[in-house]
Amino acid sequence: MSDLEKAAGLLRSRRDAIGAKLAALVSGWGKYAAPYAADPAGFAQTETHALVDYIALLIETGDENFRHLYIGEKAKQFHDLSIDAEEKRAREAVLLAGEREIFTAELNALPAARRAIDAAFDVIEHALTAEAVAEVKALFVGDCLYLDVISFLTAPALTDGVRLRPRFITSHDAVEIKSQIGKLADERFDVIFYSPFTYAMLSDYAALQRPRALASPGKMAGDVRSAVAAALDIFDLLADLFDCPIVAHAPAPILREESGLVQRLGAIGTRSFRKRACTQLGTALRTRAAQRNDKGQVVHILDEAEMAGPAGIVAAGRYLARFDLQHPAMFGAMIAPFYRDIVMVVGRLLKRKLIACDLDNTLWHGVIGEGLGVTQHYDRQAPLLRLKARGVVLAINSKNDPAKAVWEAEAGRLSLDDFVSRQINWDPKPMNMRRIAQHLNLKEKDFVFIDDRADERAMVEEQLPATLALDALDPRSWRLFDLWADLLPAKPGADRTEFYRQRDARQAFIAVEAETGEQERRAMFSQLGLTLKIREAGAGDLDRVADLINRTNQFNMTGARVTKRQVEELAAREDAWVLIADASDRFGSMGTISVLIAERDKGRLTVPIYVLSCRVFGYGMEFAILEEARKLAVPGQAMFGPLAETPFNQPCREVYPDAGFVPAEGGWLRENAERAPIAVESWLMIDSTIPAPDAARRHAPV
């Protein structure tokens, strides 16, 4: 018997004593103090005995699943909304150091086992405490499946630079689930995961798993209908309340392993009813997802049978371990890679705006400059086209001869014209990335760089650390791009390629025509044909309103962030206005470039939110929009513009004083706002449909 096998046996033989020591480490925590004081031995049996077995199994078998399970239990222990981040970090450090000491002390006589414990805790501590590049706040609505998933997801997500901040709703009662969801309505989540049936999420579905249900086939049919209806109600509530992507399971009739003969026979007998419920719900969820996605929401369906893979749903239900409170099944490990990809996209890709692509051995196989022909990677190019259609812009960053790096694209395939910026030369790629950023007025945090060469990726990451560099030779990179497209809303006109072409033409005109004098500047801008249409937002505009507010940093007076539901509530109020401005010129439309929200507050006309896209800086549009808002003031009413300085909003800080406002607590004030207009540049043609303040208003239905 090896030292590691001896150590595993020793730990199991000392389970009660070690479990008691581990339990004592958390006995003073608020959420554990009462149950520990009431029954220390019982508390240890339910909360910490499993930890001893996980460590024993880890050093005995080397199976990393048991390390993941240990990490998952720690993540659940550390999940405590009643403490702040500093106290949480202190708890993590003290507890993990204490647990390491307890286990190593038990194995003093077995040096190899002590080394194995130290190595295991090095990984465990890193997974639970290391700094991450991004955080993802996720809401998990489902049975204890999600407690299993967290175990297998925490460490791999951190490898991707993402720290997961989970929130769980695991009740089996549909009414209670909806109540808990409602209480979270004002919270912002980055993603919501919803598993309606697995393993026995809803009580009506759980009833279909019981052998005695076979005595009442009619009741089972009713339970099928009730379970499906309850699951859909919960889905609709989630989709109505939250703006973030929702990832929902199309369920499979997975049943956790049963050892008794009666239970096994019952599982066989009830399978047809469980399968019927899963099929009906899966079909209904896909229909609802398509309807929601058509309206600009994001619902992504995961098929449980597909995720179980070749092993199948029977293997998915097998237990990895089984204790009083911990009973992880294989399905948690099976689906964790799918969840890891989603968390990676949400945390590190979803808010980025541009992909800079290498060419040779990235978009095609071969070196195009050699003149020997290349083989196009259409499978890689397809997700790029999908992302382009959903608003992500494409650029080229390639060491190549620009005269040779050209290709004839078939209809519907990726072409040279799909790239808004092309840096094809022999310069260092970090230099080219900066040129692309300057050309498109984007920041390095907006960029993804994909290249087949590790040295090129390393140079870009070193010099532009906020840029995400991906390996073109890793199939996962392209899988992430495909998923990124799935998790972006499909909206008409999202493709921004033409917008950047128009922008280049506009800037070229300005560069050619510009003179140093004010008179020449006015003449030049007049030739642009700048038109500004200002109106109240309608129901179809509210997604764009929320998106523009949340994505604007430089001209955002208060650094505001909103949910779509908050925008809908503002748009429905009689004492508030959600104004939007669309800009265009001789080169084409610039789209919706500004949102200004005004409301009557404490006798004043207040502007709590005012944002303007950086693509129209310099044209004076900010004053024209502010002037239309000023007209909403009634006689004698002051207009107040709050200003909260952020690290990014320097460009907008002088707008209020330049518009005749004076300093006031928390911002800028214009007394008797209706008396004097705000000056608007003569080169702007204003088309405003904002009603007079005393006119009857009809809000768009929301």
Beta bridge partners of 451: 471
d(CA 154, CA 72): 7
Positions of the chain with pLDDT lower than 50, given as ranges: 698-702
Residue 399 identity: K
Contact call for residues 458 and 464 (beta carbons, < 8 A): no
**Residue of 52, 32, 247, 25 whose CA lies nearest to 149:** 247
3-state helix, strand, coil in the chain (%, to 5): 50, 15, 30
What are the residues whose beta carbons fall under 8 Å from the beta carbon of 247, sequence distance 6 or more?
A: 191, 192, 193, 194, 299, 300, 301, 302, 342
d(CA 449, CA 432): 11
Taking CB atoms within 8 Å and a gap of at least 24, the contacts of 266-273 are: 266/209, 266/210, 266/211, 266/212, 266/214, 267/209, 267/211, 269/211, 269/214, 270/208, 270/209, 270/210, 270/211, 270/213, 270/214, 270/220, 273/208, 273/213, 273/220, 273/221, 273/223, 273/224
CB neighbour class for 80 (10 Å; exposed up to 12, middle 13-18, buried from 19): middle
Helix (H) or strand (E) holding 302: strand 299-303
pLDDT of residue 610: 97
Cis peptide preceding 199, ω within 30 of 0:
yes
d(CA 25, CA 102): 10
pLDDT of residue 702: 38
pLDDT of residue 335: 93
pTM value is 0.79
Where are the domains positioned within the chain?
A: 1-130, 132-348, 354-491, 499-688
**Residue of 121, 203, 128, 204 whose CA lies nearest to 170:** 203
Angle at the Cα of 535 (from 533 to 538), degrees rounded to 5? Answer: 125
CB neighbour class for 662 (10 Å; exposed up to 12, middle 13-18, buried from 19): exposed
Rg of the chain's alpha carbons, rounded to an integer? 30
Q: Which fold has domain 132-348?
A: Rossmann fold (3.40.50)
d(CA 111, CA 173): 50
pLDDT of residue 9: 93
d(CA 202, CA 592): 44
Q: Which fold has domain 499-688?
A: Aminopeptidase (3.40.630)
d(CA 668, CA 645): 13
CA 289 vs. chain centroid, Å, equals 18
| CA neighbours closer than 13 Å in the CB half-sphere of residue 301 | 20
Domain 354-491 has CATH 3.40.50.1000: yes
Domains 132-348 and 499-688 alike in fold: no
